[in-house]
Amino acid sequence: MIEDVIVQRLPLNQNNFILVYDPDDLMAGEKIVSRINSCGYTLINYEDPDVFRFYFEQILNKGTDIDETGGDKIILRLTRNTYVPYDIQSIFQEIRITIKDIFPGLSYTVLKEMGSGILNDVYDAYKNYTGLNLDDGETIDFILENIYGIFPDTIHTYEDLIKTLIKIYYCGKELPEIILNYLSKRFETHPDFISFPVKKILSGKQSFFYYLQQQWELYIKSFFENNIRSDVNFGHADIRVYMDNLFSEGYLTPVHCHEIQRIPVWARDGVIYQEFLDKKKNYEELMEKVRTSLEKVESFKDWWGIASRGLNYW
């Protein structure tokens, strides 16, 4: 756990007063704060020198010697360059904790954009890494493969990309913006993807499922209108396997359909079939045929034929 690494870097029990430069906001998480508190320290975010001085002097006025191991223990955290008076600096033991310290072999630029929520997973994958230092692209590939199980070199078709994104988002994961941009640049100029809206589907979870909803509507319409086609082949085995869950769990919304027989059985969870409207349409079509037939009645046999059509309908 990355929290363990951070806590181990703090000189706890060596000094009651520790000044931590935390420019990457690594100590903002609740787990870190809880660990620090359990060690008897109070974590204070240093923002206003005058406010802190007043607070700190109150502690000193208690009469506790600053070299004693008992009494108040403070970790003073700075996330940006803020003036700290010399007399306070002289009392506190100073250390610096950065992403670069914890991940020396990965790109600082990339990890800084990832957000603290994913760094714990990155650390679990990185802690046993012994390879060369990785640049921006190599760091993103390392994260894609080890955190998300995405291997860009295996994505050869549009269906592969759609399947990959469904799998990620259905598992409740989010792709950071820097990764989405990386994938977008990688695929949008690829010959096999150039005719598809790669940038649109790689703009985040909400944008992706909005697009998928639009394509599902076109997919259902394509069973009734030959000139309509969906960009997404929902019938592909690796995509189809997710469809019933995407509808039952609210990722996608079923669309209206007036004739269920033309829709494949596996796709029927994604349609709303109003049987009454279908019967009404059939009834209206039958009545139109009856009116046409009445104009041509010449014998009893013709009347029997009209009646037979009505019996067959009901």
Give the pLDDT confidence score for residue 286 in this predicted structure.
73
Name which of 7-11, 160-164, 201-205, 286-290 the model is least confident about: 286-290
Give the pLDDT confidence score for residue 7 in this predicted structure.
87
CA distance 6 to 136: 24
Going by pLDDT thresholds of 50, 70 and 90, the confidence category of residue 305 is low
Measuring CA to CA, which residue among 46, 100, 96 is closest to residue 74?
46
If one compares 194 and 305, the residue with the highest pLDDT of the two is 194
What ranges do the domains of the chain cover? Answer: 2-97, 154-174+187-273, 276-313
* Residue 248 host element (H or E): helix 237-248
Give the pLDDT confidence score for residue 209 in this predicted structure.
96
> Which residues in 224-290 belong to E strands, given as ranges?
255-257, 271-273
Partners of 286 in the β-ladder: none
CA distance 311 to 156: 55
Give the pLDDT confidence score for residue 311 in this predicted structure.
43
How many C-beta atoms surround the C-beta of residue 310 within 10 A?
13
Measuring CA to CA, which residue among 25, 120, 124, 118 is closest to residue 78?
25
Rounded to 10 deg, the angle between the 158-170 and 237-248 helix axes is 30
Going by pLDDT thresholds of 50, 70 and 90, the confidence category of residue 68 is very low
CA distance 209 to 311: 46
Mean pLDDT in residue range 41-70: 67
Mean pLDDT, rounded, of the chain: 85
Question: Length of the chain in residues, anyone?
Answer: 314
Hey, which of 103-117, 168-182, 209-223 has the most confident mean pLDDT?
Answer: 209-223
Evaluate if residue 81 carries a pLDDT over 90. no
* 238-294 confidence digits (pLDDT tens): 999 999 999 989 999 999 888 888 899 999 999 988 665 566 666 777 777 777 766
Q: Decide: 278 and 258 in contact? Cβ < 8 Å.
A: yes
CA distance 100 to 122: 13
Evaluate if residue 4 carries a pLDDT over 80. yes
Give the pLDDT confidence score for residue 106 in this predicted structure.
96
* 185-234 confidence digits (pLDDT tens): 999 888 889 999 999 999 999 999 999 999 999 999 999 988 999 999 99
CA distances, 5 to each of 10, 80, 153 (Å)? 9, 22, 33
